[in-house]
Structure 1
Amino acid sequence: MDTVAGTATQPEVPYIADPYPTLARIRSNGPVSILHSDEGLPMWVIARYRDVRAALADPRFGQDARRAQALADDRVAGVTLGGDVVHMLNSDPPDHTRLRRLIHAAFTARRVAAMRPMVDRITTSLLDDIAGRRTVDLVKDFAFPLPMLIICELLGFPAEDRAAYRAWSTAILTHSDDPADFATALGEMTDYIGGQLRHRRAHPGDDILTGLLAARDAGELTDDEIVGMVFLLLIGGHETTVNLLGTATLALLRHPDQLRWLLANRPALPAAIDEFLRYESPVSMATLRFTTEQVDIDGVRIPAGELVLVSLGGANRDPDRFPEPDRLILDRSDPGHLAFGHGLHRCLGAFLGKLEGELALGALLDRHPGLTLAADEHELPWRNTIMLRGLESLPVALGD
Structure 2
Amino acid sequence: MPDDDLVQFDARFLDDPDAAYTVLRSEKPVHRAITPDGSPVWLVTRYDDVRAALADPRLSLDKRNAGTGYRGFDLPPELDANLLNMDAPDHSRLRPILRRGFTRARVEGLRPRIREIADGLLAALPDTGEVDLIEAFAAPLPITVICELLGIPPAGRPDFRSWTDRMLAPTSADDVGLAVKSLWRYLLELAAAKRADPGEDLISALIDERDVEGRMSEAELISALFLVLGAGYENVVHQIGNGLAALLARPQLLARLREERALLPSTVDELVRFCSPSQLAIRRFATVDVTIGGITVPAGDTVMLSLASADRDPGRFADPDVLDPRREDNPHLGFGHGPHYCLGAPLARIEIEVGLAALFDRYSELALAVPHDRLRWRPSFRNRGLLALPVSVA
For normalisation by structure 1, the TM-score amounts to 0.93
Q: Check whether the contact 1:281–1:313 (CA below 8 A) recurs between aligned residues.
A: yes
Pair 1:300-2:295 in alignment: yes
Which of 29, 32, 51 is residue 31 of structure 1 equivalent to? 29
More deviation in 127-136 or 147-156?
A: 127-136
Aligned length, in residue pairs:
389
What is the identity, as a one-letter code, of the residue corresponding to 2:254? Answer: L
Q: In structure 1, what residue type is equivalent to 2:255?
A: R
Query: What TM-score results when the alignment is normalised by the length of structure 2?
Result: 0.95
Q: Could you say which residue in structure 2 is the equivalent of 1:210?
A: 204
- 1:372 pairs, out of 363, 367, 376, with 367
In the alignment, the residues of structure 1 paired with residue 74 and residue 367 of structure 2 have an alpha-carbon distance, to the nearest angstrom, of 38
Q: Which residue of 1 aligns with 2:173?
A: 179
Match for residue 9 of structure 2 among 11, 17, 31: 11
What is the identity percentage for the equivalent residue pairs of Structure 1 and Structure 2? 39
Q: CA deviation at 1:6?
A: 5.8
Structure 2: gaps of 5 or more residues = none
Q: Does structure 2 retain, via aligned residues, the 8 Å contact 1:294–1:303?
A: yes
> Matches of 2:98 and 2:264 in 1, distance apart?
28
Contact 2:272 2:334 survives alignment (8 Å): yes
Q: What value does the CA root-mean-square deviation take over the aligned residues?
A: 1.7
In 2, the alpha carbon distance for the partners of 1:104 and 1:351 equals 11
Aligned ranges 1:210-359 → 2 under 5 Å: 210-217=204-211, 218-359=213-354
Cα distance in 2 for partners of 1:366, 1:8 equals: 48
Task: Tell me how far apart the structure 1 counterparts of residues 382 and 74 of structure 2 sit (CA, whole Å).
Answer: 12
| Cα offset, 1:8, TM superposition | 3.9
User: Which residue does 2:127 correspond to in 1?
Assistant: 132
SS of equivalent to 2:8: coil
Distance 2:318 2:250 in 1: 17
Equivalent residue for 2:108?
113
Aligned-partner residue type, residue 73 of structure 2:
L
1:130 alignment partner, SS class: coil
2:187 — aligned with what? Answer: 193
The amino acid of 1:129's aligned partner reads: A
Q: 1:238 offset after TM fit, Å?
A: 1.0
Going from structure 1 to structure 2, the CA distance change for 1:82 and 1:246 (only over 3 Å counts) comes to farther
- Per-residue CA deviations over 1:117-173 (Å, capped at 9, x if unaligned) read 111111111111114251111001000000000011111123345452111111111
The 1:313–1:187 alpha-carbon spacing in structure 2 relative to 1, beyond 3 Å, is same
Deviates more, 1:218-227 or 1:374-383: 374-383
Amino acid at match of 2:195: R
Question: Within 2, Cα distance between the matches of 1:66 and 1:172?
Answer: 22
Amino acid at match of 2:105: R
1:262-281 per-residue CA deviation (whole Å, 9 max, x = no partner) reads 12211111111111111001
Q: How far did residue 57 of structure 1 move?
A: 0.5
Distance 1:6 1:107 in 2: 45
The amino acid that maps onto 1:254 is A
For the residues of structure 1 that align with 2:312 and 2:39, how far apart are their CA atoms?
26
Q: 1:370–1:8: structure 2 CA closer, same or farther, 3 Å change rule?
A: farther
Do 2:270 and 2:327's aligned partners in 1 also have CA atoms closer than 8 Å? yes
Amino acid at match of 1:80: G
For structure 1, list consecutive stretches of 5 or more residues without a partner in the other structure. none
Residue 80 of structure 1: CA displacement? Answer: 3.3
Which of 12, 16, 19 does residue 21 from structure 1 map onto? 19
Name the structure 1 match of 2:41. 43
Secondary structure of the equivalent of 1:75? coil
Query: Contact 1:6–1:29 (CA<8 Å) still a contact in 2?
Result: no
Q: Is residue 72 of structure 2 the alignment partner of residue 80 of structure 1? A: yes
Letter in 2 for 1:201: R
